[in-house]
């Protein structure tokens, strides 16, 4: 009798062990199904935030360059130089910078509009964000490239 009760206890222990292992497997699979899309969405969000920062920074650089120019032709050339120095990658493409305002006076403003196309590395279906998206930015700087007229005595 004692032998049978020990073997019966072993059978119950094995069944419980299998149930625990099965439960762990199910928890791992369900956790993975839930966590993987969340992690991929976080990666996409980080790429979009970085793309916005890149667009803002380049628009700001182009506005500063245009503000240092002496006339509109130099300002357009300065903006084009900033755009030409942008190194496109597979994630950030299609950078467009355009001079939208140049007053041409010592107390005027220079404004630049910029845009970049962001190609998401892992588009997540439930976010309804396509495989690519556009980000736009605008920056304005005071013109410093034109000297004010001399004071009248």
Domain ranges of the chain: 2-142
Q: What is the pLDDT of residue 130?
A: 76
The DSSP-derived string for 68-123 is T-SSHHHHHHHHHHHHHT----SSEEEEEEEEEEE--STT-EEEEEEEEEEE-SS-
**pLDDT tens for each residue of 73-125:** 999 999 999 999 998 889 999 899 999 999 988 888 999 999 999 998 887 77
Give pTM, 2 decimals.
0.75
Q: What is the pLDDT of residue 129?
A: 73
Is pLDDT of 17 > 70?
A: no
Q: Do residues 116 and 135 lie in contact, with contact meaning Cβ atoms separated by under 8 Å?
A: yes
């Amino acid at each position: 009798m004692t032998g049978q009760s020990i073997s019966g206890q072993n059978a119950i222990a094995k069944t419980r062990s299998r149930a625990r292992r099965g439960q762990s497997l199910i928890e791992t699979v369900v956790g993975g199904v839930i966590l993987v899309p969340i992690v991929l969405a976080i990666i996409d969000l980080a790429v979009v935030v970085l793309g916005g920062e890149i667009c803002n920074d380049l628009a700001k650089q182009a506005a500063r360059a245009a503000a240092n120019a002496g006339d509109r032709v130099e300002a357009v050339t300065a903006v084009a130089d900033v755009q030409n120095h942008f190194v496109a990658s597979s994630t950030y493409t299609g950078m467009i910078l355009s001079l939208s305002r140049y007053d041409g006076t010592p107390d005027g403003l220079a404004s630049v509009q910029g845009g970049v196309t962001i190609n998401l590395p892992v588009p997540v279906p439930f976010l309804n964000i396509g495989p690519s998206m556009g980000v736009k930015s605008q920056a304005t700087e005071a013109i410093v490239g034109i000297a004010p007229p001399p004071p009248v005595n």
